[in-house]
Structure 1
Amino acid sequence: MQIKLSTALRYACITEFFTDWRVAFPVPDYILRSKKMTRQVPEEVRSAEGDEYPSPFRAWGMVVLLTIAYAISFVDRQIINLMVEPIKADLQLSDTQISLLLGFAFGLFYTIMGIPLGRAADKYNRRNLIVGGMTLWCLMTAASGLARNFTQLFIARLGIGAGEAALSPAALSVISDSFPPEKRTSPIGFYNSAIYIGSGLAMLLGGAIIQLVSSAPPFDAPFIGELLPWQTTFIIVGVPGLIVAFIIALTQEPSRKDVLREQDGDATELSFPDVVRYVWIRKGIYGPIFVGMAVVAVVNFMFLAWIPTLYIRLHSWDVSSIGYAFGTILLIFGPLGIALGGRLGDYYALRGDAGGHTKAAYAGSLFMVPGMLLTPIFPNATVALVGLALIPFGMAFITVNIVTAILRVTPNQLRGQVYAVLLMVMTMAGSTLGPTGVALITDYVFKDEMMIGYSMLTVAIGTAFFSNFAFYRCMRTFRELKL
């Protein structure tokens, strides 16, 4: 029979867990002495080690599939960034309405669904959760091609956000249960490289598809009617992910590791309020991470959303040209940053630096600053692309090392939910202050769409300091607490 634990006893379980697993998930003494964390623990309520890790072949096979799924998610969510001008013209939208489609519409359900889906990843079959979410977002991407007005396209973007919210909390939980702690950085880095691979492919393939369908006459689909080139692009892009979802459905997820267990061997159930209290008690650890990643999300959403439009308006580039250029930058410098950033974080950690991974993340935040400030306003388009390359390069340093740090200090039953909270914070900040912040400044402050570069610079100046300071504090905290 499963034992139902009180809130106090649940905290005691977590304390006992960290007492037994300080090497993998160390917690500072001042936290363990907290009033809510010092209740007596019955001897029978202890942490039990999970089954053996899967073979390297099976583990890396799952990582590759999840990485492909993650890349597809970025293609599906960001393909719209290349089609701002034709969508704006055909549906007669303002920059502010476009920004709502680029950020808020996707981010709203991505945020709302993130917490319950993160909790589901901590309790239920993660493979099925991923397959269901992937099927939903791919269908909604294709449905975007059927939109005839702002409202219909907005609803389709909501569905993409809801489906994609299921992926990362479940995927990172699966990856962490497939590799021992000391071997997780490489697979986590490989998975996160999909951010840049997917974004790059969205630009490269999107540019190629747009160029192809734009040269063809409008397609008259049975029972649907005439499809414009941007609508056909959505439909073409949405289909391949369904094949990958089917393949993932044939796999088997690994057993859960580092699990808090009750006397009868059942996993201890922790409610979402338990998760919130757990994070709040450790706000000195999680706070700088959440603030820093929220600021990075603002920069990420802003540049991915508006760089194509910036080059089309200010530098008179066509869609395919900026798609190829921006996509190539993302495909090269994102994975390069993942590889070098992960190695640098591991190097610092192996030398005994408790803040090694967060130190590498801090370095990445410094790399981003010149590109953030110069790219939007530099008059030479080609030279500006050099500055642009620093942004995904530095961002990759941050992503791989911060995710590694989070998984290191978060037990199994909380990983999906804690990561979902992080994604919620990032998406809320990124989807509003990024695309929409730029659009509001352009529409209501400068009142000139050709001033979009200075709108982007305004947001960049406001975020650069906060990201640097947050990751510096994060590094200091991990060192002081010897995490």
Structure 2
Amino acid sequence: MTDTPTKPAEAGWPTPATAWYTVGVLLIAYTFAYVDRAILTILVEPIQADLNLNDTQIGLLHGFAFVIFYVSLGVPLGYVADRFNRKHLIAGSVALWSVMTALCGMTHTFWQLFAARVGVGVGEAGLSPAGYSMISDCFPPKRRSLALGIYTIGIYLGSGLAILGGGLVVGLIGTTPSVEIPVLGEVRSWQLAFFAVGLPGLLVALLMLTVREPARKLSSADTAAVDFRSNWNATWKHIGQHRSAYALITVGFAFLGVPFNVALLWARPYLSRHFGVSPEQGAYLVGFTMLVFATAGIICGSILCDRMQGKGKTDATVKIGLAASLLVIAPVIAFPLMPTLPLAIAALAVVLFFGAFAYGAAPASLQLVTPNRMRATVSALYLVLVNLVGLTAGPIVTGMFTDYVFQDKGAVGISAAIVGTASAIIAAIAFALLSKPFVCAAEAQVAAGMARDAG
């Protein structure tokens, strides 16, 4: 890639062309990550039919199988991103999860599919901590929320595209449940879907190598040590100094993520079970709604956050998180109570809009309170906890309510409403308590940067 700016770079920062090219490639990578992560959600019925699985097992495949090694490897890979070349780490991660997604298409039992989904989580653990860190070194704080929000759009683009593409697969499965593949022999159509979305990711890994590694913006709070022990101790010391801010950020955004993840997995099956729409039609409805309204939500929230921060409102990310938590509650409750399909889709659209609204502010809040050399490690810790709650606990608990409390697959909408509402209330409480400790932590980081510049 050549670096030919159309606008001059701000002092000490990459040119706009370089910065936005980095965001664009990372957005593509994140989109593929979520396509590979979310393709399972639209293949629920054919996988359940072939592998004889219940809703709880589907919840485990969607969340726990993905997160189990994401948890154990996320922090070490965050440390690697803090000390070494980030674009090479991301390129290797993209290649790994793409191969593991394709391997999902070669499975024939629950445990084989579980193991392959674990591999997808291992690969994806290397992306966002390093991606957050790179973007934060490309943009000053007053422009960072929009840049991180654009990157985070990959969640909604990937999820929406996976659901839409899965709808095509489901349509094909109706008439062609299996196909003959050279070497592999007979392959079920749902297995073919994993090949189709996984293998193109190898091209994205090559594209990542064209990105320039940005220079790190260090402050006096950054540790000069390069060994793991001293850097790890310094990171925990910093977190301990601002433990209230970090704890409440994590709790707030973790539980705010539950309504979106529950909708991602269970909205389409609910429409089929409750309104009788075909899985294919349900996929088109949910996929299109997610692409339009979740994307609109995160862009609006990110622009608002940058404007508030530009006016000196340090706690902008906190206020946006609180607003999103409160505004998502009513549509989450309304979704399973709507008497007609159009009204249910309208409620889902509002859930997705406000469920996404704060997620440009989420990573931006961490960057404001964390020294550069600790950002990827802290982001990894944050992502581990957010995914344990939002991606794992939310969908699994929803499935358990349906299987063991209501004992009725048609009640999945009510299960989703219970889990989503309770989670949004917890998020709102966390954000309401966050403002003062967050401002103190952010001001301490600004003071550290000024001390370094003065020294």
Q: Residues 279 and 266 (structure 1 numbering): CA distance in 2 closer, same or farther, change over 3 Å?
A: closer
Q: Which residue, 16, 26, 32 being the options, matches 1:66?
A: 26
Residue 475 of structure 1: how far off its partner (Å):
3.0
Query: In the alignment, which residue of structure 2 is the partner of 1:246?
Result: 206
CA distance in 2, matches of 1:249, 1:101: 31
Instruction: Tell me how far 1:291 sits from its aligned partner.
Output: 0.7
Whole-angstrom CA distance in 2 between matches of 1:74 and 1:249: 20
| Counterpart among 29, 33, 47 of residue 87 in structure 1 | 47
Q: Which has the larger radius of gyration?
A: 1
CA contact (8 A) 1:364 1:393 kept: no
Pick from 103, 113, 127 the counterpart of residue 167 of structure 1.
127
Render the CA deviation track for 1:270-305: whole Å, top value 9, x for unaligned. 433432332122122112111111212322322211
Change (3 A) 1:476 1:390: farther
Q: Secondary structure, in 3 states, of the residue corresponding to 1:220?
A: strand
* Counterpart selection for 2:328 from 368, 391, 394: 368
Tell which deviates more after alignment, 308-317 or 467-476. Answer: 467-476
Partner of 2:139: 179
Higher mean C-alpha displacement, 225-234 vs 67-76 = 225-234
2:348 corresponds to = 388
Q: Say how many residue pairs are matched.
A: 432
User: Aligned letter for 2:373?
Assistant: Q
Secondary structure of the corresponding residue to residue 399 of structure 1: coil
Matching residue within 110, 119, 130 for 2:79: 119
Q: 1 CA distance for matches of 2:124 and 2:210?
A: 20
Question: Which residue does 2:6 correspond to in 1?
Answer: none
Q: Is this contact kept in 2: 1:345–1:358, CA < 8 A?
A: no
Residue 298 of structure 2 is aligned to residue 350 of structure 1: no
Q: How does 1:464-475 map to 2 (within 5 A)?
A: 464-475=424-435
The question of whether the paired residues in 2 share the 8 Å contact of 1:261 and 1:267 is answered with: no
Which residue number corresponds to residue 108 of structure 1? 68
1:7 alignment counterpart: none
Q: Could you tell me which residue of structure 2 aligns to residue 190 of structure 1?
A: 150
Identity of matched residues, %? 37
Secondary structure of the residue aligned to 2:313 is coil
Summarize deviations over 1:145-181 as a string: whole Å, max 9, x none.
1111101100010000110110000111111111222
**Which residue number in structure 1 is paired with residue 271 of structure 2?**
311
The match for 1:138 among 98, 101, 109 is: 98
- SS of equivalent to 2:360: helix
CA distance in 2, matches of 1:435, 1:316: 22
Shift of residue 320 of structure 1? 2.0
Cα distance in 1, alignment partners of residues 403 and 221 from structure 2: 55
Letter in 2 for 1:198: G
Cα distance change of structure 1 residues 246 and 210 upon mapping to structure 2, 3 Å threshold: farther
CA distance in 2 between partners of 1:170 and 1:356 (Å): 24
State the distance in 2 between where 1:181 and 1:66 align.
19
Q: Cα offset for 1:331?
A: 1.3
Are the counterparts in 2 of residues 260 and 267 from structure 1 also a CA contact under 8 Å? no
TM-score (norm 1): 0.85
- From 245, 259, 272, the equivalent of 1:285 is 245
Tell me which of 319, 323, 330 is aligned to 2:290.
330
Distance in 2 of aligned mates of 1:352 and 1:57: 26
Distance 1:274 1:267, change over 3 A: closer
Aligned equivalents of 2:201, 2:183: Cα separation in 1: 24
Name the aligned partner's letter for residue 57 of structure 1: A
Which runs of 5 or more structure 1 residues have no equivalent in the other structure?
A: 1-50
Aligned residue identity for 1:473: L
Residue 215 of structure 1, CA deviation: 3.5
Gaps of 5+ in 2: 1-10, 444-455
Shift of 1:88: 0.4
Offset of residue 267 of structure 1: 6.1
**The one of 249, 254, 257 aligned to 1:294:** 254
Conserved? CA contact 1:135–1:242, under 8 Å: yes
* 2:369 is equivalent to residue 422 of structure 1: no
SS in 2 for 1:219: strand
